Chain A
């Protein structure tokens, strides 16, 4: 197993190389010249040339990539054209917000998705099944930004239960330890700021969770329907095992593999930043920021974010594969298999 994980981690290197080359080329070919955007449209030609010279944009493209790669290997991904801050710092100041949102969303989505999916499968063609599948249909088809706006109108506007934007009341922000407000406030023992952060995350996380939940619900239903038809389920019933236990302990564990796959991929894409949700709820995460940087031709930042997202995706896939081996003893990654 360890050898397998190391092998997979080594495979990350060519993936990152490929991704970096592609994003490097795309930015330079398709994005507008950053110089006039950074300096303002009234900047002189000489000033723009000078700026390009300083930022290495006049070099041949392979040389630019070589310099970038050299920096990247030492952990230096360049500096933002606008803030002049290191890209790593820019990303790190926003990424925890995205991670926090993604994890809360995937927990909500997995919990409700699996519960609704299992009920739908067990009570197939009943009113519960129909209701569950209707919710799932709404989830996959409703645009997130619209759902987000509806949630804000209802829970924030009409009912005044929950705040509509931001991560936390700035006065309650906990000291920076991990960057995750929910965790930092718990570490500090500050329950006021914990609950404030929780209140702020509920609406965006729910809006973000809806789509993933719908996908997880459908996958759970079809996987459970398949598993419940298997002979070993009949065996469990023949042993006199109560039906609830048959479903939870015999069927769900077997049906979990495709469900875990979907959850892993969903989490991977949520971690890449949820542009629409972050925009609607003014969530200071990586998604909306990246779009802004693409529009402003902030090459180093975009490259850095894309590399990060690619790494996360590869790691999520690896984690899912490792979980497989724990769920199903027939899956072995070492060569020592008997």
Chain B
């Protein structure tokens, strides 16, 4: 097991109250695995990744649980030890390729910085590695483009540069936070293909954060569905798409437009809105939007149950207890 997140809770202390952006979540990532975390904006998926990276900004703080990377608790490491891991063993690609690169540095310098920091190579070796990485991620005439500044490149090219930068030190875990959201569809496919290829090449695990179920079905091995900071469902990708259990997941899958659907029916949508994080429903956070909501749902929080390797947090499955019980 490469990464094990145990009961992670991350809170933001605001003037109007405390927001639990991530609420007691646990999951694992194995070596070489692609784990997708899906959820809408505000579901806590990005905060989860920033918590793992140790990049939370005030007022965000990890207030509970453990993040074990190769069995060492990342939160217990000193700042220096964290910096040694970051960009080296665990690295990250962000959503906004347009703004995530430093506008006044040549891209080669931005990639070399990471290489020289972690791999202790000379400047010349680092440059050679940089160009090699740029070639690997598919940047044509890499040696020349290495001298470019970010503003001289397109969004897709910049995301390739970000990827090259993240992979330069051959990390064992790559966290990709919506790496394709800001790109147009053809470029999206190229970047996903690239991530897939890189996984094969470097045998790294990928934690893919997205709200795009299409991306998930193409790329992931296992999927976690998050809602309001909680894990609602977790399953391998085939099981999730073929037999979704949670009403929220079912709703999400139903709201994907089908290209072969000729009926005139309007596209399905989940009614209502994500609850205000400062004013959460007492029971299940999805209860006020759920079509199968019961009296109990508004009063109690269901536990995450495992049914044949498929985890779900919903009272609908309480009767059919077949798995190993509570989380």
Knowing that A236-B113, A238-B87, A253-B104 touch, tell me 11 more A-B residue pairs with CB under 8 angstroms.
Answer: A230-B99, A231-B96, A231-B99, A232-B101, A232-B102, A235-B102, A239-B165, A240-B82, A242-B80, A254-B104, A329-B103
- Count class of interface residues, chain A: 20 to 34
A94 interface residue per 8 A CB criterion: no
A-B contact pairs, 9 of them (CB 8 A): A231-B99, A234-B94, A234-B100, A235-B102, A235-B162, A238-B55, A240-B83, A240-B118, A242-B80
- A330 interfacial by beta-carbon distance below 8 Å: yes
State which size class the interface on B falls in: 20 to 34
A241 touches B100 (CB 8 A): no
Q: Is the CB of B103 within 8 A of A330?
A: yes
Q: Which of B58-87 contact A (CB under 8 A)?
A: 79-80, 82-87
A296 interface residue per 8 A CB criterion? no
- B117 neighbours in A (Cβ, 8 Å): 239-241
Decide if B102 touches A236 in the complex (CB within 8 Å). yes
B53 within 8 A of A: yes
Q: Mark A234-261, 1 if CB is under 8 A from B, else 0.
A: 1111111111000000100110000000
Q: Which chain B residues (101-123) contact chain A, with CB distance < 8 Å?
A: 101-105, 113-114, 117-118
Mask, A184-213, CB within 8 Å of B = 1, is 000000000000000000000000000000
Q: Which residues of A contact B162 (CB under 8 A)?
A: 235
Q: Give the chain A neighbours of B79 by CB distance below 8 A.
A: 243
Report the minimal beta-carbon distance from A116 to chain B, rounded to whole angstroms: 21
B91 within 8 A of A: yes
Compute how far the CA of A237 lies from the CA of B86 in the bound complex, rounded to whole angstroms.
Answer: 8
* Contact A238 to B99, CB < 8 A, known contacts A231-B94, A328-B104, A330-B151: no
Query: Of residues A230, A238, A241, A242, which shows the largest number of chain B Cβ atoms within 10 Å of its Cβ?
Result: A238
Quick check: is A131 within 8 A (CB to CB) of the other chain? Answer: no
**Chain B residues with Cβ under 8 A from A329's Cβ?**
103-104, 149, 151
As a 0/1 sequence over residues 6 to 33 of chain B, the CB contacts with chain A under 8 angstroms (1 = contact) are: 0000000000000000000000000000
- Mark contacts of B153-192 with chain A using CB atoms, 8 A cut-off: 1 yes-contact digit, 0 otherwise: 0000000001001100000000000000000000000000
Q: How far is the CA of A239 from the CA of B91 in the complex (A)?
A: 7
A327 to B94, CA, bound (A): 25
Contact mask A76-90 → B, CB, 8 Å, 1/0? 000000000000000
